[in-house]
Amino acid sequence: MSKHLETDPLPRKRSAGRRRRLAYTFLALMLVFAIGCGIVATKMVRTKQGLGDAIVGYFVPAPATLFGKERIIIGLLGLDYDYTANDIETSRNARTDKLSVFALDFPTGVVKEIDIPRDSEALVAGHENKINAAHAIGGEPLTDRVTGEFLGLPKNSRGRYFDRFITLRVDATKDFIDAIGGLDVNVDEEMNYDDNWGHLHIHFHPGLQHMNGDQAVSFARFRHDAGSDIWRINRQQLIERLALEKLKSRKFNDLAHIAQLITVLRNDVITNLTTPEMTSLAWQFKNLSLENLKQTQIPAKKDLDLANVGDVLVPDDAKKAAIVADFLAPYVPATPPADIALERPAIPPASVHVVVENGSGRSGLGRQMADALHARGYVIDRVGNADSFDYATTIIREHSKVTGVGEQVRAQIALKTATVAPLPQAQASSADGGDVTVIVGRDFAGAAAKAAL
């Protein structure tokens, strides 16, 4: 008995020590939790975020932290494909069917896109060729060099023109569109094309219709009309905008859905973006608006039959230089933040002068737009044709000293696919009259025009 009595105090001391350690641990955890709540609450107040966004934003690193700078350039390569003798899809030694360069600006949340027609003339491995041959000859590294030199982009610290690249395999776009439930696309012309070897069958009638991934890709690939590759790029850009709106409207932009979509894309893309980088970029741009997506393409000044290559598009170097200068320039928002804009009284339409240019290639659409705006009180200075008839969507060029005029006109025409694109400073000073220029695209045709007005 005495032995037991002598040994009892030691367990009690150990038990008391454990209780103290647990208490200290609990207090430390509570302190960490309190500090975390304070940080999240401060971020909510500073950024006006909800609790969920603030918590996720705390654990998802900002892209500027991951990339070490506030702006990156990404090359997007969509591979062409063919079929083997065994009827199997292959992209071996493939050319690029889509070649795009994106500038992602983290502080402003603006994304600029330049699309390059696949048949553009370029210097590839020391010889004149179509720019899409670069990938077939030297893969992504040669495409990086050829594209960078073609556009005149600056090199980064690694001696490359792209900070990151994304190469889309055959089914990438199709699988992505299927993953978000398809898209509602307004087809603006009769489309009929069959390529039995390439398993490509495109048959669409004009009008609004729901498309699955395979149909949307077929729509975007069609180029057998008067606009050829230029209108084809416009369709690709339209699909991008519709997908962006679908992601936002159907709430696919929360972290759970972002992770699922990245998993889908991982199966279909080759990229040097890491999963944390993709998650960070997706979270940063999850609320990207159409106004902050600036899309353009490199125009051609003529066609040329190049020996041993075939027909190529010779780029308009002067226009290309202006596009790239705007692409590289810091973006200055044309309108104030939404909360300020809501407080500002509407701009009297009678004080707004509008130039309407028909860029749709459809007779009468320019006059129809002008009449509708005039009926709302706007002053129409001139109605004419745009610089080309290649505009798939309506663009509102703002060159007024009064902030917000372009957005007000956009709200008046109520056309979801219309975008406001402020003129570059050099062009704004010599703009052809008016406060805004409305370039009417093919999205204004038919049922879209009736619904808008």
Which DSSP string do the residues of 312-370 spell out, in sequence order?
Answer: EEEE-HHHHHHHHHHHHSPP--SS--HHHHHHSPPPPGGG-EEEEEE-SS-TTHHHHHH
> Mean pLDDT for the chain?
78
Confidence grade of residue 21 (pLDDT, cut at 50, 70, 90)? low
- pLDDT computed for residue 113 by the predictor: 94
Confidence grade of residue 99 (pLDDT, cut at 50, 70, 90)? very high
Largest CA distance in the chain: 111
> CA–CA separation, 434 vs 398, rounded Å?
9
Residue 316 CB neighbour total at 10 angstroms = 15
User: Identity (one letter) of the amino acid at 53?
Assistant: D
Confidence grade of residue 165 (pLDDT, cut at 50, 70, 90)? very high
Element (H or E) spanning 73, and its range? strand 71-79
- pLDDT computed for residue 322 by the predictor: 92
Q: 415-424, pLDDT tens digit by residue?
A: 777 887 665 4
Poorest-confidence range of 4-18, 113-127, 371-385? 4-18
Residue 224 CB neighbour total at 10 angstroms = 13
User: Identity (one letter) of the amino acid at 105?
Assistant: D
- pLDDT computed for residue 234 by the predictor: 86
- pLDDT computed for residue 226 by the predictor: 62
- pLDDT computed for residue 290 by the predictor: 84
Confidence grade of residue 452 (pLDDT, cut at 50, 70, 90)? very low
Q: 243-298, pLDDT tens digit by residue?
A: 888 887 766 767 777 887 888 777 788 899 998 899 899 888 888 888 888 999 99
> CA–CA separation, 135 vs 275, rounded Å?
25
- pLDDT computed for residue 102 by the predictor: 96
| DSSP structural state of residue 95 | P
Q: 198-239, pLDDT tens digit by residue?
A: 567 788 888 888 999 999 988 988 876 766 778 888 888 889
pLDDT score of 429 more than 50: no
- pLDDT computed for residue 88 by the predictor: 56
Report which listed range, 7-11, 125-129, 159-163, 334-338, is most confident.
159-163
Confidence grade of residue 393 (pLDDT, cut at 50, 70, 90)? confident
Regarding predicted confidence, which is higher, 230 or 165?
A: 165
* Residue 130 · residue 312 · CB < 8 Å: yes
- pLDDT computed for residue 45 by the predictor: 42
Residue 191 CB neighbour total at 10 angstroms = 17
- pLDDT computed for residue 82 by the predictor: 57
> CA–CA separation, 398 vs 378, rounded Å?
15
Confidence grade of residue 22 (pLDDT, cut at 50, 70, 90)? low
DSSP string, 264-292: HHHTTEEES--HHHHHHHHHHTTT--GGG
pLDDT score of 446 more than 80: no
- pLDDT computed for residue 74 by the predictor: 96
What is the four-CA torsion angle of 171, 175, 177, 178, rounded to 10 degrees?
140
- pLDDT computed for residue 100 by the predictor: 95
Q: 328-367, pLDDT tens digit by residue?
A: 987 655 444 444 333 344 788 888 899 999 988 888 888 8
User: Identity (one letter) of the amino acid at 437?
Assistant: T
Mean pLDDT of 415-444: 69
> CA–CA separation, 265 vs 247, rounded Å?
15
Residue whose token pair is 């701009």: 347
* Whole-prediction pTM: 0.63
Mean pLDDT of 18-22: 64
Q: 45-87, pLDDT tens digit by residue?
A: 444 444 445 445 556 788 888 999 999 999 999 887 655 556 5
Report which listed range, 118-127, 224-233, 252-261, 442-451, is most confident.
118-127
Q: Residue 379: CB partners within 8 Å, gap ≥ 6? A: 349, 350, 351, 352, 353, 354
Poorest-confidence range of 26-30, 153-157, 259-263, 392-396? 26-30
Regarding predicted confidence, which is higher, 218 or 142?
A: 142
- Token reading at 221: 């690939």
- pLDDT computed for residue 254 by the predictor: 72
